[in-house]
Amino acid sequence: MNEPLVFMFSGQGSQYFHMGKELFSGNTVFRQCMLEMDAIVSRRIGISIVNEMYHPAKRVSDPFDRVLYTHPAIFMVEYSLYRVFAEKGIQPDYVLGASLGEFASAAASGVLDAKEILECILEQATVIEKYCDKGKMLAILDKPQLLLDHPQLFENSELTSIHYDSHFVISGESENIQQITDVLRENEILCQPLPVSYGFHSSLIYPAEDIYKEFLRSKSFKHPKIPLVSCLTGSSIREIHNDFFWDTVRRPMRFREAIQFLESQHTCHFIDLGPSGTLAAFVKQLISGDSANRCYSIITPFHQELKNLEMVERLQKLERK
């Protein structure tokens, strides 16, 4: 049996202006899929996400953090890249989503079609913007033991994920996260604010809960056609319950556990379909053996996606022979 292939989809914090631009310009399938979804979004919110994301006056380093734009933008890029692989006959044995990436994972596995997923994404972004106070998320490059060693420092924040032994993320009110950031930097502990405007995976988004759950009750979810490994549970799930897409943005992420689950079953190959290659970087810290030859990313801020796509396609053809 060939080693299973896992497609991974990242969430908020992985986005930036011009993500996937080289694919948009140079790959017909990617471009067409992006434009089709952009038309759906434009009819709903009156804004072209494609025009916003690829605005010539914007730089990659400029803040791109309005959730009504970034929520659909991340999904559009990830799902369009999935369609590129599908067109080439490369299908995953598993799909794995982290946070907002659970939407792309669900679409790829056939839980809902892309149009319905976009409706779920836009509704979530709308109610979060309307009802929730803004917040921040902070990635900390240190052992999670830091939380236990300095409880007073972190008492006004919430742990959202542990990606590997020396990388975890916290969420909270903007002022509190800034104070934590200042203390960590004073003590030369590496940390990086995520480019988000809300405290996802924390109690800060509770005000949107009832309205969004009511919206989700109108949806009927199919069983996944491709095995779906969720960072909500850290394992495989066979059925999507109606609160799933709320829980994926509210509850902590269990990415480390999801990768450990997969690796306990097989020696896998991983392709990161997210915009930044962050999940691929995390996986390389988690898996044993020659991780560089088992884990790849396509889109990065350095705009090498056509070259990366060609390389991964070639490797997959060799692997599948």
Q: What positions carry a catalytic annotation?
A: 99
CA distance linking residue 117 with residue 107, whole number of Å: 7
pLDDT at 289: 74
- Same domain assignment for residues 94 and 233: yes
- Same domain assignment for residues 63 and 123: yes
- Same domain assignment for residues 219 and 90: yes
At which of 172, 193, 214 does a domain end? 193
Per-residue pLDDT tens over the stretch 110-166: 999 999 999 999 999 999 999 999 999 999 999 999 999 999 999 999 999 999 999
Q: In angstroms, what is the C-alpha Rg of the chain?
A: 19
Q: What CATH number does the domain containing 173 carry?
A: 3.30.70.250
pLDDT at 1: 45
- Same domain assignment for residues 210 and 311: yes
- Token pair of 130, please? 């309307």
pLDDT at 302: 86
At which of 165, 193, 221 does a domain end? 193
- Same domain assignment for residues 29 and 74: yes
Number of structural domains found in the chain? 2
- Same domain assignment for residues 300 and 256: yes
- Same domain assignment for residues 20 and 85: yes
- Same domain assignment for residues 143 and 160: yes
Indicate the burial class of 225 (C-beta count within 10 angstroms; 0-12, 13-18, 19 or more): exposed
Q: What CATH number does the domain containing 289 carry?
A: 3.40.366.10
At which of 193, 215, 232 does a domain end? 193
Q: Using an 8 Å Cβ cutoff, are 10 and 278 in contact?
A: yes
- Same domain assignment for residues 121 and 235: yes
- Same domain assignment for residues 260 and 175: no
pTM of the model: 0.95
The whole-chain average pLDDT of the chain stands at 95
Per-residue pLDDT tens over the stretch 67-103: 999 999 999 999 999 999 999 999 999 999 999 999 9
Instruction: Give every residue of the chain whose pLDDT is below 70, as ranges.
Output: 1, 318, 320-321
- Same domain assignment for residues 49 and 106: yes
CA distance linking residue 254 with residue 45, whole number of Å: 32
- Same domain assignment for residues 115 and 248: yes
CA distance linking residue 271 with residue 295, whole number of Å: 6
Full domain range(s) for residue 216: 5-131+202-320
